[in-house]
Structure 1
Amino acid sequence: MSQPATTGAPAPAPAAGTATRPPGSPPLTSGARRSLLGASAVAALGGFLFGYDTGIISSALLFIAPEFGLSDGMQQVTVASLLLGAIVGVLGAGAVTDAAGRRRTLLVGAAVFAVGAVVSAVAPGVEVLIVARVLLGLAIGTASLTVPAYIAEIAPAESRGRLVSLNQLMITVGIFVSYLVGYLFDDGEGWRWMLGLGLLPALAMFLGVLRLAESPRWLLGRGRREEARAALLRTRTPEAADAELAEIEALSAAETRTSYRDLLRPAMRPAVLLGVVVAATNQLVGVNAVIYYAPTMLKQAGFGSSAAILSSLGIGLVNMCLTFVALLLVDRVGRRPLLLGGTSVVILALVFLGALYLMGDDGRPVSGGLLVAGLCLYIAAFAPSLGLAIWLINSEIFPTAVRGKASSFGNVTHWGLDFAISLTVLTTINALTPTGLFWIYGLFGLLGVVYLHRRLPETKGRSLEDISASLRG
């Protein structure tokens, strides 16, 4: 996930299609900074909705399941339907944003978020609820590509890291708020309010995007140079805008000469495989089993509904706070220490969680308090390591000319495995016990950290060309 640039640390490498500011250019004015922050915050509402709509089902499911008489299998289908939509959304988002533009895609995404929230809230049965969640998934998949791309393309290099990182921070804020809303509406019919309240940020996003300018990079790619220059002049001097336009033109020309077939060349395979392994490890340690099913696990462990949701609220708070800390540290400490160290703690937490159930009776952990502590430790280690790395590493390890196409492999891997895991959590618990579930996730994490220890370069402070050259086969 994207990172901030911090004082005294090397600035993040530029994202595809963006340019660095010429040496000696004047700093941004306060008005330009406010304009950039406002535009980025509006776009990052897509990240908030991403987090809210993925997290709210964990609380709502406690009441949806008995009301609609859902089996474990149908609970998993209800959760996973959103991820199925996200896979379709992320596969189609690239073509849609290229054809319609970033701004229009954000508008459509906000509208779909709103429709999905309303339909979810009034769903008369599980079939309609599943359709609504597929719609929400389409919006989430689209937002996961479009929001970071839009922010990266409007931001100057020196503030790009901080601004793009708003998206990831807002995802964790959305998850935390979803747990808070779940606690506030903890009653039989409250689940409809939980799902329906997603309408409010969706409307705020839609109205905010109406006031945004289109991405200058997209405008330039459509031959609308003067409009692109006008968009850049909102936050750049004329000299800086002209220099950035020239670099965008050069990068766009390089991108048009590449194809997905180029990614299969031996020189590109190590980087593509690394991006896929980071994304796969992110999911295979079971983070979304925790996000989607934590209240269900806690209720099965003997907690009441309110206590289960309240405990999940604590987990969401830890996730949000540690993500913020990671954004402050990633350009100081480096990627490798955070990723390898944090993932190692994730593995230990999974072993600990499995042991709690092994020592307990009747499918319950030996201590509910220790279960909550173990889940908090798990998410505290995940947030600054694998949580941050999936987007960050995939944005840094590929040459500029193929970065957009190459990073899509990691994105599709993320959503595909998210779908598979959400569809199998309760079934795996029934078949292998919670101990088996957590220890399988721990084994996947161990395999991932061994590979990453051997293959992951430190990318802090290095140029994209240097990073990609070190990974060429």
Structure 2
Amino acid sequence: MKNVGRPSHKQDTQQEPPSQQDEHSSANNHTYHAWNVYVFAIVAAMGSLIFGYDAGLISGAELYLKKDFSLNPIEEELVVSATLIGGIFGAAISGKLSDAISRKWSLVAVGITFIVGAVLTTFAPNLVLFMAFRILVGFCIGVASMVTPVYITEISSSSKRGLMVTFSKLALTASIPIAYGVDLAIAHAGWGWRPMFIVECIPGIMLAVGMLFVPHTPRWLASKDRWEKASAVLERIAGPEKDKEMHSIRKALTAGKHTSIRELFFTPLRMALVVGIGLAIFQQVIGDGAISYYAPTIFKFAGFTLPSGDILATIVTTIDSVVATIVALFLIDRLGRRPLLLISLIGITSTLAAMGIIFLFGASHTRGYLILICLLVYIFAYGIGIGPIFALMCSEIFPTRLRGSGVSISFCLNWVATLLVSITFLSLIKHLGNSLTYWLYGVLAVAAIVFCWFLVPETKGKNLEQIEEYWENGRHWQQ
């Protein structure tokens, strides 16, 4: 990185104290600057929407795919897991990609490639090509899952960063029932599975076109020595705080102008990577993938044998997840990250322990309703805490010069953990039984509590440069 943080003489001589008129204008435009951030965050959240929409879509299309391609059980699992496989590779390269071509153009490229993947999937003539195109779609989702929270983090103020990034999680959860609705409408019309996938082009278009009209993040621009453009973006999103933000960015980039990924492994910044990886793995190994993907199966284990059981499981769990995310929106910048993480994990641990005990008793209506209550508590506890906070904290704990690499590593391992949980859940149920399986997840949730208590810092109200200093000062906040 060349001449990071060294403004030209021309830039220095042009800086003058603001006049009273300028200060009055800035004050009047403060709401305008705030609304800019909201608009940019909503547009970028389309990157999360494509993830949720695709997850909901495949649930409705699965029965048609099974019939048309004559899927055996292994092939059926591969169809569901194809996007997870693609997601691992997408997350792995997302850091380098977003550092090289910017967060903005990465999401534009994701939108365009997602559209291509949706069209190719729609017209796939056989199972092999269908799987290949689904991996391509998963690749796009993997890139978007990492770049979306990073973009939103880098344009948000420290006081609103939690709200903004959590909004992308809301876009993900809220898009799932939208996909269900589209699937039901197409199924009711008798059109089969192909139209379900062509409709995926719509969120892809929304992402690709929308990102054309938002700015680059000021921190990415500054990392490329494009200081004037960074200042112009800060004027739009930070208003009166522009100079303060610019000073923090300049100071951080000047101090770390000789950048190497080795810093994440051989300097005090390695603790940021430890926290990022820990949150990434714990977010999944506490059983979320199993609960989400197999909620209908869990309902059957619990004793719900009505023909409408699958639909009931889907509707109830989706509504619960959306409500939890909305609650998190209002709490995450008020209570902070650590309290919500700990409350969330304690709720998850208690629920998993209770589910293990309840499954010890024979099937009955009482057991079924108790499992349903536990399932709802689990989803709610997950949705207000570790669900959205993983992406938020991963995108804010790494310094600008290493954010792409750090977040990419964390998200890649998160996708790996998601895949492992989803493909091992039914095997664990078969060999260990329901009770031991949920107790195993519960033990891992206890480990997550210990991890968060001792290693995860509270980043509420801290700007990104202050968080960087925290790691460099040996995990101490600078007074």
TM-score computed with the length of structure 1 as normaliser: 0.82
- After TM superposition, list the pairs within 5 Å mapping 1:31-42 onto structure 2: 31-42=32-43
Q: Is the 8 A contact 2:325 2:383 kept in 1?
A: yes
d(CA) in 2 for partners of 1:311, 1:115 = 32
Q: Is the 8 A contact 2:163 2:330 kept in 1?
A: no
Write out aligned runs for 1:2-41 (5 A).
Answer: 26=27, 28-41=29-42
Q: Which amino acid aligns with 1:281?
A: F
Q: How does 1:105-184 map to 2 (within 5 A)?
A: 105-184=106-185
Q: Which amino acid aligns with 1:248?
A: I
- Residue 87 of structure 1 corresponds to 88
Check conservation: 2:356, 2:439, Cα contact below 8 A.
Answer: yes
Contact 2:351 2:374 in 1 (8 A): yes
Match of 1:213 in 2: 215
CA drift of 1:308 comes to 1.0
Q: Residue deviations 1:111-152, cap 9 Å, x none?
A: 122223333344444323322221121111111222222223
Contact 2:95–2:407 (8 Å) recurs in 1: no
Structure 1's 315 and 70: CA in aligned 2 closer, same or farther, altered over 3 A? same
Aligned to 1:432: 432
Which residue type is aligned with residue 428 of structure 1? Answer: L
- Measure, in 1, the Cα distance between the counterparts of 2:404 and 2:78: 31
Whether the 8 Å CA contact 1:58–1:296 is kept in 2: the answer is: no
| Change over 3 Å in CA distance of 1:326–1:263 after alignment to 2 | same
Aligned AA (2:311): I
Describe the superposition over 1:225-251 as per-residue Cα deviations: whole angstroms up to 9, x where unpaired. 4444444444455x7556544543443
Do structure 1's residue 471 and structure 2's residue 475 form an aligned pair?
Answer: yes
Determine the C-alpha separation between the residues in 1 that align with 2:56 and 2:434.
21
With over 3 angstroms needed to count, the CA separation of the structure-2 counterparts of 1:98 and 1:164, relative to structure 1, is same
Larger radius of gyration: 2
Equivalent residue for 1:202? 204
Once the two structures are superposed, what CA deviation does each residue of 1:375-417 show, in whole Å capped at 9, x if it has no partner? 2111011111211331233345556664544344422221111
- What aligned pairs does 1:303-314 form with structure 2 within 5 A after superposition? 303=305, 306-314=308-316
Aligned mates of 1:280, 1:255 — CA distance in 2: 28
Q: Which of 342, 345, 362 is the matching residue for 1:343?
A: 345
Q: Deviations over 1:81-102 (max 9, x none)?
A: 2111111111111222222222
Alpha-carbon distance in structure 1 between the residues aligned to 2:307 and 2:216: 45
Distance 1:157 1:456, change over 3 A: closer
Shift of 1:169: 1.9
- Residues 334 and 460, structure 1, Cα contact 8 Å, conserved in 2: yes
Calculate the aligned-residue CA RMSD, in Å: 3.3
Identical aligned residues as a percent: 33
CA drift at 1:176: 3.6
- Structure 1, unmatched stretches of 5+, are 1-16
Higher relative contact order (CA 8 A, sep 6+): 1
Corresponding residue for 1:53?
Answer: 54
For normalisation by structure 2, the TM-score amounts to 0.81
Is the contact between residue 45 and residue 170 of structure 1 (CA under 8 Å) also seen in structure 2?
Answer: yes
Counterpart for residue 14 of structure 2? none
Offset of residue 186 of structure 1: 5.5
Matched, 1:445 2:449: no
Which deviations, in whole Å up to 9, do the C-alpha atoms of 1:317-350 show, x marking residues without a partner?
1111111212212233233332222212212222
The question of whether the paired residues in 2 share the 8 Å contact of 1:76 and 1:422 is answered with no
Secondary structure of 2:169's counterpart equals helix
Alignment of structure 1 residues 347-426 onto 2, 5 Å = 347-360=349-362, 367-398=367-398, 402-426=402-426
- How far apart are 1:279 and its partner, in Å? 1.8
Task: Provide the C-alpha distance between the structure 1 equivalents of 2:56 and 2:360, rounded to a whole number of angstroms.
Answer: 28
Q: Is the 8 A contact 2:94 2:408 kept in 1?
A: no
The amino acid that maps onto 2:431 is A
